[in-house]
Structure 1
């Protein structure tokens, strides 16, 4: 008896979100150039999973149906079988020109099911077209899950996830494609750039790898999870860069304006901008980096900012805002000798105005630099540094900002690495007043970022978070841990209004800060 062969190909391509005809052509091209018995594409790749409300418009639905018809025609003419999910149809199998919505069929004697796990009883092959938002090392979780599921169900599983081309307004999509069979990784490909990622394997031929991953246990930086820190940081920076790349490519804007203070947040945003321009094939001089010294600017941070801009080869500007802020304070009748919140916020808002005006002059995108820790604690100026066109740091806590800079420094030449190292060693400060240090005001950022993880992602109680911190931070006094936790809860509640109007920035780490309306009184302690 002739042995049955089943070759599965899972493919991810650079989606043209909002352009169904272009995506249909890309799918056909992959099927034309690669031989397989069945093809799997990411969910909603015909329209883009991030097309949002576009799918509700009849004109767009008509374009989608026309593109789908072209795929059906190709399938019929060339005897092709492919699987995806399409808005209005959800999971579909297209077989010899026929659209099958029940998402199960028999191919070469094998029962093929297109589903989320749980609806796949007695399947020989489970196909998973997905559009999951990315986070660092998501592929490790997927490999672990699919390996275990294919082993326990004694079947083959293939997955294709959305990637490049999707909007990065809210999420960034990590493209990957994989084929697994009875606990074995047959083929797995990451989409690390806008090219196609294709995993293909004949599941009737033995071979592949067995995947295992040790549990690292509870860490002072819980964001790493089971993953090796260096691998996690490498992938986080790739996702951050991909998010900004997609915003720049999609908007058609060729230049970036960024305020560079010599602090860690603006440094990471500048490094992200540098990598993005390289991906886009644009000159680094298209990055307009602006230093805006004022009353609290230190020699150390100004020097680091200047050196970093020079070494990276970006366009640099210095706009001293002392006179402008002094004039503004005089105009509103505020004594500049009174160094209160008005004195501080006037500087932050002046810097924001300068950046947006320079962006207007250059048709550029203003890049935000604030991080997740500042947003959680409200340690930012409403109408000031919380305004930008796009912020690649928005979902990255301060601890990871510092770790990322250290990680990137290892890839740079000695001169740049030296500047980056000194930046990470500089006390964190908004420098709105001389000698100002943030952690003397709000507390230890390592603790706050630990709290953010267990409060926002794991939704642990106050007591649970306290006990976890006591177990992990054995070198920190209990009184400091409790005081810092109280500060976190109090500032998170008090500063909700600042988070209600934040600019766009992709979720890069798998969770965001919970939204609770500013007019709701609550107590979670």
Structure 2
């Protein structure tokens, strides 16, 4: 199943933003450098390459653009590119000055497999400050449904062109030129509404202080507004520095995400390469219905464009994925971004709870504190909410409710935390009530037999919730839930119990992997003293366990991740299934690329050791199978979940928010897709798939 290891089998298309070294007014030299990058693109199986504006002549040649000898040399160069690309894989767009009906146009020429597909003229010609393009060029604004002769070939010419690859590598792209992106409504906006998924910009764009950031902002925002990929290539080494300078900035953006960027101020030719996720873009366009509404409101249809088709077969050989894939999609690896996310998530939780207390005219909170991650974060949120409302923390009635398997370590951490946070702390031993209930049920445990089944577990879990709700009645408070997003996704919660049911759940949209960082955020925030921070770190170091079953003879505790899988993998699966609706084989492919190698030392501080390990494809497939089985069969629990604020764009599982699904759907379709399309054996290490790039 070699094709599994090709990104082209998972809705990716490989794109390059190219910056060749050039010589001013030397088309032959410039064609040579372009061909060098094209051959490199062919070796790397790049499907689409974009080159700079006027790259065959150079941009900074001023009145030399009106020299017949130069223009004829440019056309000879185009003819050579056409001939020598016949057996190359990539489609590509190059920039050149072209004559048509007694006018000169700044144009992008699209070439594939030895033929010119079409020519797109630049619309907006800057004539301000250092720019003087109207002296030389005519605008292509009114050019449509026309043809032009280039290198002896009659080809479509106009601003009404879309280019569509058909076959196993299907995608649609559009071309615009430099200034076209800097105007209030770029031509690519309408093209995207008409179906273009990849937007190319051939640019020259000289460099001044701060302009590189402006380009990134424009490219990123255009890719986000258009829900598209945007590839931008600017002129680089070799342009004339008579009055200007050039930094050769090229980049590739996808729905606001910067995937790759060239080295700036390079000495020689360079290019940025990335695998664009067409599946992600298509899923977003389908979900974000206002995208289609915008096209209808502007009366944009595919008929407004001439769609030029070409055939391109997707490579099936093993290739390394050329894009970053976060191991923790709910937790960015960039330290500054992680800090900002934690700040926002924590305050969303606090604001949500504070509003609920105000709305219900409630001044008291009842919460169960186990000494585990979830109840710790929930208690921290409760304290901050009380502070925000000007209420005493003693209004938080916190209870530890030890059962048959509660360890001294977690119980001790629970007590230490409650005392450190100065809440009203109490303990209720649920074991006598649990024994009575088990006896009433004629359960073998009541007769001294070590039977630790689901009834044994849920009697304890249920009693804890019973106590908390009755305590809330007694003290005129509300029960704050503690269960997190990961547990809800996996169904690792008991229906009608505190990790599934409460009056309000502050953790409902927070993944297990993010909760750990939220606790670290509070510990490092300065809002707690060092002693409290030490308690929080002790809780973070404790193995995750429901503590409902006593240790076995060897002292082994009931490990959550040994049963339902590593939260690192399961959060990854949850994100891509619910956020984008990816099929299991694609989720497995992305997970394998994220986790197949041990992580480098570039992760933020305090990342747990488990984040640095690797997983084989067989492990990833095994735990994805577990996830799919549990996710679908647990929908009935999510259908009845309490209110809680949405935290991240990764989504929530609230039936009133991001996730509406029937409780009776089964996982068969997803499991079959997983089994049919994900191999159990990885390729040999010598394969190119193991060349880690772009991660």
Instruction: Flag whether TM exceeds 0.5 (same fold).
Output: yes
Match of 2:634 in 1: 495
Aligned-partner Cα distance in 2 for 1:315–1:436:
30
Match of 2:652 in 1: 512
Rate the CA distance shift 1:150–1:306 in 2: closer, same or farther, 3 A.
Answer: farther
Residues 415-442 of structure 1 show CA distances to partners (whole Å, capped at 9, x for unaligned) of: 0111101111100011001211100111
Measured on the aligned residues, the alpha-carbon RMSD in Å equals 2.5
Q: Displacement of 1:183 after TM fit?
A: 9.9
1:319 and 2:428 equivalent? yes
1:381 and 2:488 equivalent? no
Aligned-partner Cα distance in 1 for 2:371–2:580:
33
Aligned-partner Cα distance in 2 for 1:493–1:154:
44
> Which secondary structure state, in structure 2, belongs to the residue aligned with residue 358 of structure 1?
helix
Match of 1:160 in 2: none
Match of 1:257 in 2: 366
> Which secondary structure state, in structure 1, belongs to the residue aligned with residue 548 of structure 2?
coil
Aligned-partner Cα distance in 2 for 1:512–1:238:
17
1:277 and 2:379 equivalent? no
TM-score by length of 2: 0.45
Q: How many residues align?
A: 326
Aligned-partner Cα distance in 2 for 1:306–1:316:
7
Q: Which has the larger radius of gyration?
A: 2
Equivalent pair of 2:364/2:397 in contact (CA under 8 Å): yes
Residues 223-282 of structure 1 show CA distances to partners (whole Å, capped at 9, x for unaligned) of: 246871111111111111111111111111001000000000000000000100000000
4+ aligned runs moved over 3 Å, structure 1:
148-152, 182-185, 212-217, 224-227
Aligned-partner Cα distance in 1 for 2:364–2:259:
43
Match of 1:451 in 2: 573
Residues 173-228 of structure 1 show CA distances to partners (whole Å, capped at 9, x for unaligned) of: xxxxxxxxx9999xxxxxxxxxxxxxxxxxxxxxxxxxx99669321111246871
Q: Displacement of 1:404 after TM fit?
A: 0.8
Aligned-partner Cα distance in 2 for 1:351–1:224:
31
> 5+ residue gaps in structure 2?
1-178, 187-213, 218-255, 261-323, 551-556, 597-613, 654-658, 672-695
Q: Displacement of 1:477 after TM fit?
A: 2.2
> Which secondary structure state, in structure 2, belongs to the residue aligned with residue 384 of structure 1?
coil
Match of 2:548 in 1: 432
Q: Displacement of 1:152 after TM fit?
A: 3.8
Equivalent pair of 1:427/1:437 in contact (CA under 8 Å): yes
Match of 2:618 in 1: 479
Rate the CA distance shift 1:224–1:440 in 2: closer, same or farther, 3 A.
Answer: closer
Residues 349-381 of structure 1 show CA distances to partners (whole Å, capped at 9, x for unaligned) of: 000000011111110010000001111111111
Match of 2:471 in 1: 358
1:403 and 2:513 equivalent? no
5 Å-filtered alignment, 1:17-28, equals: none
Match of 1:268 in 2: 377
Match of 1:343 in 2: 456
> 5+ residue gaps in structure 1?
1-147, 156-181, 186-211
> Which secondary structure state, in structure 2, belongs to the residue aligned with residue 333 of structure 1?
coil
> Which secondary structure state, in structure 2, belongs to the residue aligned with residue 289 of structure 1?
strand
Aligned-partner Cα distance in 1 for 2:387–2:474:
23
Aligned-partner Cα distance in 1 for 2:497–2:580:
31
Equivalent pair of 2:325/2:593 in contact (CA under 8 Å): no
